[in-house]
Amino acid sequence: MANPLHLPSLQLPHAPASLAAGPGNADWPAIPVLPPLLLADGSQPAGQQTSVRACADARALYVRFDCDDRDIWATYTRRDQPIYDEEVVELFIAPGIATPTSYYEIEVSPDGVLFDARIENPTGLRADITVDTSWDCPGIVWQAGRDDQAGRWWAVLVLPWQSIAGSEAPPREWRANFYRIERPRDGQPEYSCWSPTMTEPADFHKPAYFGLLERPVGER
């Protein structure tokens, strides 16, 4: 695939078999960490950093976020509440290598509240976006935990490939982005990305900037 925007790409490593037994498994440190997340405008790394790890097997995509956070907070308690107005980690993902006009938005708060929705974005303009929160990702598993004293929280997502592939067989290649929204109560918010969307103010709904994921070789 031509890559004129120099998008980041990731050949997903094979998931340790132990992760299938439980996403909070201690084998996560064996998975390489992605480069530091950058601010949405691409100007510099985020001040409150996030370590993102991702791996896969034939059944699912596994993602872990570890977040530095001097001021952890969350108030929402129910699935699909607007947790993106507080502090969250996010995964946007779509099958195939073309710039997607439809994709999935998955978020987790520090208290383990999930937001999952199907997005229609035909033009790449926020005014034209449709968000379907009636969609619940089949078979998704998620966990989160926080340590306020240490100033850290984490979240894990397990997404079955078939649940986000639509009616087709899961392809080898995907478009995706990993995000974090950090809102310190004593400072300015930070919007950080694996693949910066080159926007100010920050806008994560720029699918042309989604990075490239490739499932592990040998997985079907």
33-50 residue pLDDT tens: 999 999 999 999 999 999
Assigned domain for 72 exists: yes
pLDDT digits (tens, 9 = 90+) for 170-199: 999 999 999 999 999 888 999 999 999 999
Question: Residue 105's domain is classified under what CATH number?
Answer: 2.60.40.1190
> Is residue 4 a part of any domain in this protein?
no
Q: How many CA atoms lie within 13 A of 87 on its CB side?
A: 28
State whether residue 218 is helix, strand or coil. Answer: coil
Q: What is the pTM of this model?
A: 0.95
Q: Give the residue from 170, 171, 124 showing the smallest Cα distance to 5.
A: 124
Q: Is residue 34, in this structure, part of any structural domain at all?
A: no
Give me the number of domains the chain comprises. Answer: 1
Report yes or no on 154 lying in a domain. yes
- Confidence grade of residue 220 (pLDDT, cut at 50, 70, 90): low
Sign for the CA dihedral angle at 56, 57, 60, 62 comes to: negative
Are the CB atoms for 162 and 170 separated by under 8 Å?
yes
Domain residue limits at 120? 51-214
Is the residue at 2 inside a domain?
no
Query: Does 110 map to a domain?
Result: yes
Contact (CB, 8 A) for 68 and 48: yes
Place of tokens 């989604």: 210
Cβ atoms of 120 and 132 closer than 8 Å: yes
In a domain, 29, yes or no: no
Q: Which residue has the higher pLDDT, 173 or 21?
A: 173
